[in-house]
């Protein structure tokens, strides 16, 4: 199915208020433009060099989300281009993003990445780590990052109930933060979870943002 048709279908299937992030990693700008011309504006990249290369070739109203593991030595590189970093997986990275955003006098939206999946290869805060950091005031006091919510991935498994439980845990952690330490943080509204294989479950469990690649662009081009 053509990319434009996939974009149209997904926008029609997603509930009102759930944002679609088109995961465009490894796909050429020509294919991104097909999605753009079908109305897509949010694109997700997980490699700094690729994002920096593509950004100048795309229209100015594209919102670039960085969704992969962000190395500290790549933060400065992406800072002029990103509207959101979804993969803040440590307090050290959060502080560095704040510092680099301040350096160029801008404010960057961020999501705090949770690790709930039964896979060691995935990164992020454990639920306990994140709640302890919040209670200790370690998520506050930054002037150039705006905490917008949480991001997470479920385990890669055919056990749909496990996937659902993991999504529910991400959402409940978000609610604990939003009703507790971050209650005064008006912009703390986003729960980014769900990909091509599991986004309907994620939406059922309260996702406000899904990250879809294969269902839009087809298999990756390496």
Q: Work out the average pLDDT over 189-208.
A: 97
Domain 3-212 belongs to what topology?
A: TIM Barrel (3.20.20)
Q: Would you say the C-alpha torsion 157, 160, 165, 171 has a positive or negative sign?
A: positive
Point out the least confidently predicted range of 70-74, 121-125, 137-141, 183-187.
121-125
Of the pLDDT bands very low, low, confident and very high (cuts 50, 70, 90), residue 222 is very low
Question: What per-residue confidence (pLDDT) applies to 118?
Answer: 83
Of the pLDDT bands very low, low, confident and very high (cuts 50, 70, 90), residue 91 is very high
Would you say residue 221 has pLDDT above 60?
no
Distance, CA of 100 to CA of 44 (rounded, Å)? 20
Question: What per-residue confidence (pLDDT) applies to 30?
Answer: 96
Q: Work out the average pLDDT over 172-197.
A: 95
With residue 190 as reference, give the H or E element that holds it.
Answer: strand 190-192
Nearest to 25 by CA among 59, 64, 62: 64
Question: What per-residue confidence (pLDDT) applies to 220?
Answer: 66
Pairing mode, strands 145-153 and 19-23: unpaired
- The answer to whether the CB of 51 falls within 8 A of the CB of 27 is no
Point out the least confidently predicted range of 60-64, 110-114, 121-125, 127-131.
121-125
- The structure's pTM equals 0.95
Q: Output the average pLDDT for the chain.
A: 95
Q: At what angle do helices 29-37 and 3-13 cross, to 10 degrees?
A: 50
Question: What per-residue confidence (pLDDT) applies to 1?
Answer: 76
State pLDDT tens for residues 96-106: 999 999 999 99
Distance, CA of 34 to CA of 40 (rounded, Å)? 9
Q: Work out the average pLDDT over 18-42.
A: 96
Distance, CA of 48 to CA of 66 (rounded, Å)? 8
Q: Work out the average pLDDT over 183-197.
A: 94
Residue keyed to tokens 């969704």: 67
Q: Work out the average pLDDT over 180-200.
A: 94
The CA-atom distances, in angstroms, between 6 and each of 14, 23, 46, 176 are 12, 13, 21, 35
- The answer to whether the CB of 55 falls within 8 A of the CB of 62 is yes
Would you say residue 200 has pLDDT above 50?
yes
Nearest to 66 by CA among 145, 140, 170, 157: 145
State pLDDT tens for residues 137-149: 999 999 999 999 9
- The domain ranges of the chain are 3-212
């Amino acid at each position: 199915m053509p990319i434009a048709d996939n974009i149209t279908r997904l926008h029609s299937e997603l509930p009102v208020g759930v944002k679609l992030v088109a995961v465009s990693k490894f796909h050429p700008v020509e294919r991104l433009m097909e999605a753009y011309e079908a109305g897509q504006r949010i694109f997700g990249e997980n490699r700094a060099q690729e994002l920096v290369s593509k950004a100048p070739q795309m229209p100015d109203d594209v919102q670039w989300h960085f969704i992969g593991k962000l190395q500290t030595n790549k933060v400065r590189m992406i800072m002029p281009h990103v509207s959101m970093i979804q993969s803040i997986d440590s307090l050290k990275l959060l502080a560095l993003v704040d510092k680099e955003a301040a350096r160029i006098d801008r404010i960057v939206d961020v999501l705090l990445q949770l690790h709930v999946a039964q896979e060691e290869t995935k990164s992020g805060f454990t639920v306990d780590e994140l709640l302890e950091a919040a209670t200790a005031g370690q998520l506050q006091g930054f002037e150039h990052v705006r905490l917008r919510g949480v991001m997470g991935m479920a385990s890669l498994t055919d056990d749909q109930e496990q996937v659902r439980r993991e999504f529910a845990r991400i959402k409940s952690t978000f609610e604990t933060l939003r009703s507790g330490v971050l209650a005064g943080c008006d912009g703390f509204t986003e729960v980014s979870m769900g990909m091509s294989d599991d986004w309907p479950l994620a939406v059922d469990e309260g996702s406000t943002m899904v990250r879809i690649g294969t269902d839009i662009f087809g298999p990756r081009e390496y």
